[in-house]
């Protein structure tokens, strides 16, 4: 197996991604469990936070103002579950070890699982945005759509990369369910900060200017690149036994 | 004077925490090295 | 004469004695000889433990990162580096906790608030949580090599994250500049005796750090050795059983 062959790696990655997505399609766990969970979280946020503002001069309700942040928070919680799932299917039958023994490049494995996560997360985030439109009174302005879409892509890649990386670190160990949130949530803080600010700018929440959002997208983009690269390099040592 | 309380309290907490940790390190050191022959202890 | 148990040697006893002397000096100067600050009065005394603690925490995490790299990138993959990384991280978490607590108390005295969401504090809290996670990962079990590899990767990823977090938090807090304009960064102008006291503090804490890490690392080595022996004994007894039967 030639380890330097990028095309083989890419093709293998797509195979792995396809495998993960097919498992999901067959079991429908993300659709049947994670998606309802994330919507329930959005509803819970409303229970906790919905009050008419007592502050004069504030037109938006509190929920409208914090809607972007809530969408990303719900995404983060769902990410944790999706990652557990992504590696749960591997650990159960020792499938990850089998793949390694068969000579699959760690980088291909990393990108395959990351891409599968990206697909699932991206759909989830879209649905959460729709939920916010319905439940929180959020609205999307046409001028912000580009920023919205690019943020959506960059943040999802960053989150999926981190999830796959730390999921791989904890796979097969006892206590990984409780450890994964502790490891992942601090790490994705830049994405939470950056993506929330970018979406606020895109939607015009709280009167934010569209132009203010692009630097934040920069933060998210750098994060995605850093962890994409970091994950590619680090995944090998992590899953090697 | 609230100040003195905070200041003394901080010093007590700081060195207290260090002392407790140091104590636990030493206790654990003695416990784990008790059964080991000298060749397993490169510092002796 | 070295005792039969324990991780002490003459060098560490000297180190420990020096550390105690350093602490005594720090107490004398910090609580006694150094003057009140013109602006902060007595509360400046808190800085004599808070600042050294912070410095040593950062140093500890740098040592962890470097030791992790030395473990991962050298061919021998010597576990000694892994144990140094682990010991230093543990002491670093201790110092970081002290930093956060003394910092909160200082903030309360000086500015009336225990906590503020400024860039430095937030990044420090983040660092603390990250290394708590690192220590938890070290206890996940498995072979020593697995532990070493996982922790080493985690430590190096932390080195990658910290600038990212700092940058994004700084950007975030700069949005709220108005709130902090009346409150300087926490850097106090010090001179003369105050600076000397700070220096004493740093020396004392460095000695404490070194003493703690050396002992902790040796204990980790002993624990690993015990593990190995346990494994050897188990294999030997299994073999003996097999021969007895067969």
Interval C220-238: pLDDT, tens: 999 998 888 887 777 888 8
- Asked whether the beta carbons of residue B29 and residue C101 sit closer than 8 angstroms, the reply is no
The set of residues, in sequence order, having a beta carbon less than 8 Å from that of C184 and lying 6+ positions away, is none
Domain tally, chain A: 1
Confidence bin at C239 (pLDDT 50/70/90): confident
Name every chain C residue with its beta carbon within 8 A of the beta carbon of B24.
none
Instruction: Tell which residue, A69, A237, A240, A232, has the closest CA to residue A160.
Output: A232
Chain A interface residues facing chain C, Cβ-Cβ under 8 Å? 165, 169-170, 173-176, 179, 182-183, 186-187, 189-190, 193-194, 197, 215-216, 219, 222-223, 226-227, 230, 234, 237-238, 240-241
List chain C domain ranges.
Answer: 25-179+189-245
What is the average per-residue pLDDT within C2-19?
Answer: 81
CB atoms within 10 A of CB A230: 18
- Asked whether the beta carbons of residue C229 and residue B32 sit closer than 8 angstroms, the reply is no
Confidence bin at C2 (pLDDT 50/70/90): very low
Residue A1: inside a domain, yes or no?
A: no
| CA distance linking residue C135 with residue C127, whole number of Å | 12
Chains B and A touch (3+ CB pairs under 8 A): no
| CA distance linking residue A131 with residue A134, whole number of Å | 5
| CA distance linking residue C69 with residue C155, whole number of Å | 9
Instruction: Tell which residue, A91, A94, A77, A240, has the closest CA to residue A163.
Output: A77
Copy the structure tokens of residue C34: 């150094």
Nearest chain B residue to C28 by CA: give it: B11
Contact C101, C153 (CB under 8 A): no
Contact A179, C151 (CB under 8 A): no
ipTM metric: 0.91
Q: Give me the pLDDT at residue C189, please.
A: 67
Mean pLDDT taken over chain C: 87
Residue A115: inside a domain, yes or no?
A: yes
- C101 near B CB under 8 A: yes
Higher pLDDT, C132 or C141: C132
For residue A60, what is the DSSP state?
S
Cα dihedral sign, C44-C45-C46-C52? positive
Residue A90: inside a domain, yes or no?
A: yes
Backbone phi, psi, residue C52, to 5°: -60, -40
Residue A16: inside a domain, yes or no?
A: yes
Interval C34-84: pLDDT, tens: 787 777 778 888 999 999 999 999 999 999 999 999 999 998 889 999 999
The set of residues, in sequence order, having a beta carbon less than 8 Å from that of A58 and lying 6+ positions away, is A65
What is the average per-residue pLDDT within C114-118?
Answer: 85
Please give the residue range of the domain that contains residue A103: 6-239
Copy the structure tokens of residue A47: 């229970």
Residue A230: inside a domain, yes or no?
A: yes
Interval A19-45: pLDDT, tens: 989 988 888 888 889 999 999 999 999
Interval B29-38: pLDDT, tens: 998 888 777 7
What is the average per-residue pLDDT within C78-96?
Answer: 96
Q: Give me the pLDDT at residue C182, please.
A: 42
Name every chain A residue with its beta carbon within 8 A of the beta carbon of C156.
234
Name every chain C residue with its beta carbon within 8 A of the beta carbon of A240.
149
Least confident of A13-17, C100-104, C140-144: C140-144
Mapping DSSP onto H, E and C, the string for C153-189 reads HHHHHHHHHHHHHHHHHHHHHHCCHHHHCCCCCCCCC
Q: Give me the pLDDT at residue C179, please.
A: 43
Confidence bin at B2 (pLDDT 50/70/90): low
Chain B partners (3+ C-beta pairs within 8 A): C
Name every chain A residue with its beta carbon within 8 A of the beta carbon of C169.
189, 193
- Asked whether the beta carbons of residue A230 and residue C72 sit closer than 8 angstroms, the reply is no
What is the average per-residue pLDDT within C102-115?
Answer: 88
Name every chain C residue with its beta carbon within 8 A of the beta carbon of B13.
98, 101-102
Q: Distance (Å) from the C-alpha of residue C229 to the closest C-alpha of chain B?
A: 9
What is the average per-residue pLDDT within C198-215?
Answer: 95
Copy the structure tokens of residue C179: 């709130």
- C152 near A CB under 8 A: yes
What is the average per-residue pLDDT within C101-107?
Answer: 91
Which of B11, B13, B26 lies nearest to residue C215, judging by beta carbons? Answer: B26
User: Does C1 have pLDDT greater than 50?
Assistant: no
Q: What is the mean pLDDT of each run of 10 residues along chain A (241 residues)?
A: 70 90 87 92 89 61 89 96 86 73 85 95 96 90 93 97 92 76 93 95 88 93 95 87 58
- Asked whether the beta carbons of residue B7 and residue C43 sit closer than 8 angstroms, the reply is yes
Name every chain B residue with its beta carbon within 8 A of the beta carbon of C25.
none
| CA distance linking residue A54 with residue A66, whole number of Å | 16
| CA distance linking residue A164 with residue A111, whole number of Å | 9
Write down the pTM of the prediction.
Answer: 0.88
């Amino acid at each position: 197996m030639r380890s330097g062959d990028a095309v083989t790696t890419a093709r293998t990655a797509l195979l792995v991604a396809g495998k993960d997505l097919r498992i999901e399609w067959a079991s429908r766990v993300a659709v049947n469990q994670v998606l309802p969970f994330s919507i329930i979280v959005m509803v819970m946020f409303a229970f906790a936070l919905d009050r008419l503002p007592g502050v004069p001069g504030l037109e938006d309700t509190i929920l409208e103002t914090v809607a972007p942040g809530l969408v990303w928070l719900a995404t983060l919680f769902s990410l944790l579950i999706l990652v557990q799932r992504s590696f749960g299917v591997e650990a159960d039958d020792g499938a990850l070890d089998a793949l390694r023994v068969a000579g699959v490049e760690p980088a291909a494995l990393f990108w395959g699982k990351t891409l599968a996560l990206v697909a699932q997360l991206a759909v989830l985030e879209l649905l959460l945005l729709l939920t916010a439109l319905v439940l929180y009174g959020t609205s999307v302005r046409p001028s912000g759509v580009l920023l919205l879409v690019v943020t959506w892509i960059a943040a999802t890649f960053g989150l999926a990369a981190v999830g796959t990386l730390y999921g791989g670190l904890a796979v097969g160990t006892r206590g990984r369910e409780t450890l994964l949130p502790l490891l992942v949530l601090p790490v994705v803080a830049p994405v939470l900060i950056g993506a929330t600010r970018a979406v606020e700018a895109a939607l015009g929440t709280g009167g934010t200017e569209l132009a203010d959002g692009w630097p934040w997208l920069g933060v998210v983009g750098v994060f995605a690149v850093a962890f994409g690269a970091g994950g590619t390099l680090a995944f090998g040592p992590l899953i090697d036994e | 004077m609230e100040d003195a309380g905070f200041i003394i309290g901080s010093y007590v907490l700081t060195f207290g925490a260090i002392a407790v940790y140091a104590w636990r390190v030493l206790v654990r050191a003695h416990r784990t090295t008790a059964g080991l022959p000298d060749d397993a202890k490169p510092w002796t | 004469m070295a005792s039969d148990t324990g991780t002490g040697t003459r060098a560490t006893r000297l180190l420990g004695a020096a550390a105690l002397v350093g602490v005594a000096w720090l107490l004398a100067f910090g609580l006694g000889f150094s003057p009140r600050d013109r602006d902060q009065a007595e509360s400046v005394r808190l800085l004599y433990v808070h600042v050294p603690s912070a410095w040593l925490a950062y140093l500890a995490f740098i040592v962890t990162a470097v030791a992790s790299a030395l473990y991962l990138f050298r061919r021998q993959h010597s576990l000694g580096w892994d144990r140094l990384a682990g010991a230093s991280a543990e002491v670093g978490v201790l110092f970081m906790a002290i930093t956060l607590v003394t910092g909160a108390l200082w903030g309360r005295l000086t500015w009336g608030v225990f906590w503020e969401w400024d860039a430095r504090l937030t990044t420090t809290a983040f660092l603390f949580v990250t290394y708590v996670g690192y220590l938890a990962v070290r206890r996940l079990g498995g072979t020593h090599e697995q532990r070493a590899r996982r922790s080493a990767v985690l430590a190096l990823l932390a080195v990658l994250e910290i600038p990212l977090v700092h940058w994004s938090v700084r950007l975030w807090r700069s949005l709220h500049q108005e709130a902090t304009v009346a409150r300087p960064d926490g850097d106090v102008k010090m001179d003369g005796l105050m600076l000397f006291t700070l220096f004493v503090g740093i020396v004392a804490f460095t000695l404490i750090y070194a003493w703690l890490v050396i002992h902790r690392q040796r204990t980790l080595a002993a624990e690993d050795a015990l593990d190995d022996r346990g494994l050897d004994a188990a294999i030997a007894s299994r073999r003996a059983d097999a021969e007895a039967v067969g």
